[in-house]
Amino acid sequence: MKFKNLKTEEKDGIALLTIDRPKKLNALNRKTIEELHEAFSSLDADPDIRAIVVRGSGPKAFVAGADIAEFASYGPEEGRDLAAKGQETLFDLVEQLGTPVIAAVNGFALGGGLELALACHIRVASHNARMGLPEVSLGLIPGYGGTQRLPELVGRGRALEMILSGGMIDAERALEYGLVNHVTALEELESYCLQLAGKIAKNSPVAIRYAIKAVNAGSRSSVSGFRTEIDAFGSCFGTADFKEGTTAFLEKRKPDFPGE
């Protein structure tokens, strides 16, 4: 498979998928989301692939967020469409994939980047990892499943603190919270994830698919939370706070939110 913004490697039944936009800190634009959809779908359909490791290129970021310049001019309906299509195209797809996906989180995993890691089945972080959902600083909320998946992993109170403050936590705090499964040195992150993927790959792929489906079913008795997130995310695009937040970001200044 050849992509503009991704690299893929396959060895011994394990696929290593690298998001390759280092100059943009691997930010998720529309093209990258589409390519990730294609790559994950293709790998999941390949019976020789037993596990997938996804990472960001370079030492600075797993994925530093969404490409804000792409949606800064959107209105409410465009915002809802952005969230709905993104969830369907990538984030829900990854969560429901029958092939286990391990997120190798290095550097910044912010906004959509953390939401991608949350959608993966297992997360491993390097010591330099920094994770957060800073959307409120733009006059937004997480729109790719963050308001639903983060509380499932870290609890309601911790999730609300992270979302409402917009702040980042380090790898050790993420481990304490249960946001990541393991923490390792940056230079050992890839090998650690591949070793873990190798252990998984030795087991029954049929049983693994059923296990993932069963675990997902236990936390997906209702999709209303995701629908609520999509609607609220879209509504943010009609506010003065959103206009100020995104304008300030693009102008590289601190926002002065009017509160409307």
State in Å, rounded, how far the first CA of the chain is from the last one. Answer: 46
Whether 238 shows a pLDDT value over 80: the answer reads: yes
Lowest model confidence (mean pLDDT) among 9-23, 141-155, 223-237: 223-237
Residues 50 and 114: beta-carbon distance below 8 Å: no
pLDDT at 224: 74
pLDDT at 2: 82
Nearest CA-CA partner of 117 in 188, 189, 49, 45 = 189
Please, which residues have CB within 8 angstroms of residue 229's CB and are 6 or more apart in sequence? 83, 141, 142, 143, 145, 146, 147, 148
CB-count burial class (<10 Å; 0-12, 13-18, 19+) for 47: exposed
Longest dimension (CA), the chain: 56
Nearest CA-CA partner of 17 in 111, 90, 108 = 90
In the chain, the domains with their CATH numbers are: 6-201 (3.90.226.10)
Whether 44 shows a pLDDT value over 90: the answer reads: yes
Nearest CA-CA partner of 132 in 63, 227, 54, 33 = 63
Mean pLDDT for the chain overall: 94
For 104-136, write each residue's pLDDT tens digit: 999 999 999 999 999 999 999 999 999 999 999
Confidence band for 221, pLDDT divided at 50, 70 and 90? low
Name the DSSP class of 254: -
Q: Which residues are catalytic?
A: 115, 135
- The predicted model scores a pTM of 0.91
Extract the tokens encoding 207: 């049983």
